[in-house]
């Protein structure tokens, strides 16, 4: 059975991001685990969105509520997963840019104004490039046309 809101101009079947704060609180406090699914789905979609901020605010104020710890941990876990995926995306973009350039990683590093060792840390994910550096890397990769002969020299393995 799904939850029915009281004294709130919203329905449980409405999109969660349209629910007023009171509907979120009522669902987290009175709902069953199955009732939490739409909230968790929205948290997955927009980990730092409006619903996440409302849930986080409620969890910080309702520390006595058993569900508060669950939702706080869920947000923390989802944000961590999102950040890991974003870091992996940056690594992929750095590597793709180097590969597109058709030159060695060391030559590519010189093109963007950094050292080969620093470029290696970007390509392995040990260090995240600044936004400006990522733009330089992507521009340099896009500006260089892939020459099959040059691309065959780009035999870099990332440890």
**pLDDT tens, 33-70?**
899 999 999 999 999 999 999 999 999 999 788 899 99
Q: What is the mean pLDDT of residues 87-105?
A: 95
Q: In terms of domains, do 90 and 48 share one?
A: no
Does 135 map to a domain?
yes
Query: What is the model's pTM?
Result: 0.75
User: What's the confidence (pLDDT) of residue 117?
Assistant: 96
Q: What percent of the chain has pLDDT over 70?
A: 87
Does 29 map to a domain?
yes
Does 68 map to a domain?
no
DSSP letter (8 states) at residue 147: P
Does 81 map to a domain?
no
Does 76 map to a domain?
no
The domain tally of the chain equals: 2
Q: In terms of domains, do 115 and 147 share one?
A: yes
Assign 145 a pLDDT band (cuts: 50, 70, 90).
low
Q: Based on the number of CB atoms within 10 Å of its own CB, is 24 exposed (0-12), middle (13-18) or buried (19 or more)?
A: buried
Q: Which two tokens stand for residue 125?
A: 């994910």
CB 37 within 8 Å of CB 48: no
The domain of 99 spans 86-153
Does 25 map to a domain?
yes
């Amino acid at each position: 059975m799904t939850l029915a809101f009281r004294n709130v101009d919203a329905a449980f079947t409405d999109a969660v991001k349209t629910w007023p704060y009171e509907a979120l609180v009522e669902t987290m406090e009175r709902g069953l685990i199955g009732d939490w699914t739409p909230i968790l789905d929205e948290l997955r979609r927009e980990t730092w969105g409006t619903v996440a901020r409302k849930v986080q605010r409620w969890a910080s104020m309702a520390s006595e509520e058993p569900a508060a710890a669950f939702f706080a941990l869920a947000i923390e876990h989802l944000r961590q997963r999102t950040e890991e995926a974003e870091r992996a995306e940056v690594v992929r973009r750095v590597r793709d840019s180097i590969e597109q350039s058709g030159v060695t990683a060391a030559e590519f590093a010189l093109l963007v104004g950094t050292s080969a060792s620093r470029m290696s840390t970007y390509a392995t994910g040990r260090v995240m490039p600044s936004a400006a550096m990522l733009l330089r890397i992507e521009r340099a990769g896009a500006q260089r046309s892939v020459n099959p002969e040059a691309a065959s020299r780009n035999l870099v393995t990332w440890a």
